[in-house]
């Protein structure tokens, strides 16, 4: 991804990234020699994917559903060190965990206490591995966001060879996580999957999907905050106006792809939910997911769901949009307000 250029003021970030890759390269090579990096066959169980645009409630749903101990997932250690976790996690993760607890580290996007056991996303892991196939490179090289996200999340202009490589790299990562999780069925979440549902369906014909949507005004406001959290990873400088356009464009195009790619999925393969429903009745929402997808786990896991929901959680941040921002959202996303059933009041 060096072709996109690094602003001089961010050269130190590029150097640290390359240093981290170099430090773990011997472990990657050792894993390859020991046969820990493929070839990869079918997964023991078809994956269960949570999809939805950034900040639509997918993280909360994933953490809630992972109270079912029969589900596996990719944790942050695996996501940060995807080239080496198979051989290092058992010894290194506990050390890192003690360090981040001692310094009181917070999750950069959600503001909660950080842990290497929190769920991570496949596109984050692909950036960490040096793969060129991750849609999240668009948040590292933001001046190339439309090109990168368009190619690797929306599959626009992608060649057949690149499409196959993206599918293979995702499957390799998911397969290694599956091994680390003892072959449990994986519950996975990465927002760019929403735009490339067709690729996932092709690779995993029996996969199941949970799609979440949220009031578009709230999504836009929350994504402004999310992009601020990306600033620590930027290799290029951009303006607030560019960020606004990135959000408006990518949300619109991601949902266009989603509506196209969901065609033909059975009722027991796809369930669509609103974030407001999840927040108002999380237990009822998980029950509905369980029943429609035929998971058969709700009653067995219910005590763990209830215990999770009784814990204190970090409050949602409050975001205020200007009149101009609300008008822009209403103009660009008007059809999604209607499609998802939200009220359109641009002047409020």
Q: Which residues does the chain have with pLDDT short of 70?
A: 1-3, 109-111, 312-319, 346-348
Query: Where are any strands of DSSP class E within 169-277?
Result: 185-189, 208-213, 270-274
Rounded to whole angstroms, the Cα distance separating 169 from 160 reads 14
pLDDT at residue 66, as a whole number: 98
Peptide bond into 39 cis (omega under 30): yes
Tell me which CATH code domain 2-74+135-318 carries.
Answer: 3.40.50.300
Can you tell me the distance from the alpha carbon of 60 to that of 23, in angstroms, rounded to the nearest whole number? 33
**Torsion, Cα of 99, 103, 107, 110 (10° steps):** 150
In this prediction, residue 317 carries a pLDDT of 60
Helix (H) or strand (E) segment spanning residue 71: strand 71-72
pTM: 0.93
pLDDT at 49: 98
DSSP three-state, residue 181: coil
3-class secondary-structure state, position 254: helix
pLDDT given for residue 110 in this prediction = 64
Determine the Cα–Cα distance for residues 109 and 79; give it in Å rounded to an integer.
15
CA distance 110 to 127: 19
pLDDT for the residue 28: 85
Length of the chain (residues)? 348
């Amino acid at each position: 991804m060096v072709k996109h250029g690094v602003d001089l003021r961010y050269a130190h970030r590029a150097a640290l990234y390359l240093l981290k890759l170099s430090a773990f390269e011997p472990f990657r090579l050792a894993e390859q020699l020991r046969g820990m990096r493929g070839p990869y066959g079918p997964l023991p169980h078809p994956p269960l994917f949570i999809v939805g645009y950034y900040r639509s409630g997918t993280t909360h749903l994933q953490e809630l559903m992972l109270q079912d101990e029969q589900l596996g997932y990719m944790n942050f250690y695996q996501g940060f060190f995807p080239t080496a976790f198979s051989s290092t996690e058992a010894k290194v993760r506990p050390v890192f965990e003690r360090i981040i607890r001692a310094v009181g580290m917070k999750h950069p996007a959600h503001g909660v206490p950080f842990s290497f056991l929190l769920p991570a996303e496949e596109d984050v892991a692909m950036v960490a591995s040096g793969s060129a196939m991750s849609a999240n490179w668009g948040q590292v090289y933001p001046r190339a966001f439309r090109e990168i996200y368009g190619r690797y999340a929306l599959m626009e202009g992608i060649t057949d060879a690149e499409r196959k490589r993206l599918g293979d790299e995702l499957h390799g990562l998911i397969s290694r996580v599956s091994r680390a999780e003892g072959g449990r069925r994986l519950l996975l979440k990465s927002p760019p999957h929403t735009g490339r549902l067709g690729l996932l369906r092709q690779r995993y014909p029996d996969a199941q999907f949970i799609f979440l949507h949220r009031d578009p005004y709230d999504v836009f406001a929350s994504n402004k905050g999310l992009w601020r959290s990306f600033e620590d990873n930027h290799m290029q400088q951009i303006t607030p106006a560019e960020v606004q356009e990135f959000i408006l464009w990518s949300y619109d195009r991601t949902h266009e792809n989603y509506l196209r790619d969901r065609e033909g999925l059975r009722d027991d393969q796809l369930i669509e939910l609103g974030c407001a429903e999840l927040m108002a009745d999380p237990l009822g929402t998980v029950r509905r997911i369980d029943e429609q997808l035929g998971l058969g786990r709700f009653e067995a896991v219910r005590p763990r769901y209830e215990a999770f929901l009784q814990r204190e959680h970090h409050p949602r941040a409050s975001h205020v949009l200007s009149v101009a921002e609300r008008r822009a959202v209403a103009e660009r996303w008007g059809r999604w307000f209607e499609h998802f059933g939200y009220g359109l009041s641009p002047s409020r």
